[in-house]
């Protein structure tokens, strides 16, 4: 079975997200840990979480993916912003233990003119401060489009980060199809080659999840504008290969495509399920 879900609003709690997922034939989902603007996170309702975990088990859900606020920048040039990002990250990891054994994805950061090596060094230092032996959560670095001074649009940069982290077994990578295409990897004609490159540079054992998004822009554009599945520059044939590829077919896929409501996601989930070869 294809393991797929979409990005949902966490505002009505975990049980609501599981129910929404069930209503669109999803068996996982992604959510922001807090307001993307980075405000205080909502209190955890333990009853709600327990109910959600049971419901997920009954319905064969696979790992869910929490997403750090996209405004979080671990390697900002501003010390105050860096400190806030680190505290948010650390608090999110503590809260993740209410839903143990899942995954937490974040954008590595933007070095804002400090240079990529300085950015990478700061990211490593923060990870070495916030990751703990006890955590059950796997922390995923997202592959980025290379907009502005984003760190993580090259596999080499993600590899450098992982190399510097002490608790490597807590680390993974989330491959965003829109982002890697925008970053210049040939998702359309050579997804197999992209995975070989990933393996050569990072090691495929770190590949834990896929953000499955089409792109409004051609390969190498560094834009990061998501498009609906099959309506962008990547196209449906490439997605059929991606979901069926022997290396990626068992991974959880998360849609972050632009839709007004969750029924838009249902259409994409149904389409992708119909293209999946069991």
Residue ranges that bind Fe ion, judged by CB under 5 A:
142, 176, 211
Query: Smaller CB distance to Fe ion: residue 34 or 211?
Result: 211
Query: In the chain, count of helices (H) and strands (E)?
Result: 9, 12
Could you say which of Fe ion, Zn ion, none residue 211 binds, taking C-beta under 5 to 8 angstroms by partner kind? Fe ion
Could you say which of Fe ion, Zn ion, none residue 92 binds, taking C-beta under 5 to 8 angstroms by partner kind? none
d(CA 206, CA 101): 16
Residue nearest to Zn ion (CB): 224
Q: How far is the CB of 152 from Fe ion (least distance, A)?
A: 10
The residue to which tokens 């954008």 are assigned: 107
Query: Smaller CB distance to Fe ion: residue 51 or 63?
Result: 63
Q: How far is the CB of 254 from Fe ion (least distance, A)?
A: 8
Closest CA to 247 of 193, 211, 186, 201: 193
The distance between the two most distant Cα atoms of the chain, rounded to a whole number of Å, is 50
Q: How far is the CB of 69 from Zn ion (least distance, A)?
A: 14
Could you say which of Zn ion, Fe ion, none residue 150 binds, taking C-beta under 5 to 8 angstroms by partner kind? none
Residues in the chain, how many?
A: 278
d(CA 18, CA 49): 10
With contact defined as beta carbons under 8 Å apart, do 253 and 208 qualify?
A: no
Query: Smaller CB distance to Zn ion: residue 157 or 224?
Result: 224
Q: How far is the CB of 134 from Zn ion (least distance, A)?
A: 31
């Amino acid at each position: 079975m294809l393991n797929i879900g979409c990005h949902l609003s966490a505002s009505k709690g975990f049980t609501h997200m599981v129910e929404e997922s069930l209503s669109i034939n999803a068996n996982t989902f992604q959510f922001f840990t807090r307001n993307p603007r980075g405000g205080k996170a909502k209190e955890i309702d333990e009853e709600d979480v327990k109910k959600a975990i049971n419901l997920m088990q009954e319905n064969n859900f696979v790992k869910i993916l929490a997403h750090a606020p996209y405004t979080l920048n671990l390697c900002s040039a501003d010390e105050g912003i860096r400190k806030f990002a680190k505290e948010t990250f650390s608090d999110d990891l503590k809260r993740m233990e209410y839903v143990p054994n899942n995954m937490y994805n974040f954008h590595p950061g933007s070095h804002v003119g400090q240079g990529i090596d300085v950015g990478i060094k700061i990211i490593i230092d923060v990870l070495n401060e916030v990751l703990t032996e006890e955590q059950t959560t796997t922390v995923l670095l997202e592959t980025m489009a290379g907009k502005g001074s984003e760190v993580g649009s090259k596999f080499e940069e993600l590899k450098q980060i992982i190399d510097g982290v002490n608790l490597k077994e807590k680390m993974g990578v989330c491959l965003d199809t829109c982002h890697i295409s925008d970053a210049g990897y040939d998702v359309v004609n050579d997804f197999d080659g992209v995975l070989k490159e990933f393996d050569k540079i990072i090691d495929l054992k770190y590949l834990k999840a896929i953000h499955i998004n089409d792109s409004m822009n051609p390969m190498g554009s560094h834009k990061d504008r998501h498009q609906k599945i099959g309506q962008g520059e990547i196209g449906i044939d490439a997605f059929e290969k991606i979901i069926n590829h022997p290396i990626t077919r068992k991974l959880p896929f998360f849609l972050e495509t632009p839709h007004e409501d969750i029924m838009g996601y249902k259409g994409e989930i149904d389409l992708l399920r119909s293209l999946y070869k069991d």
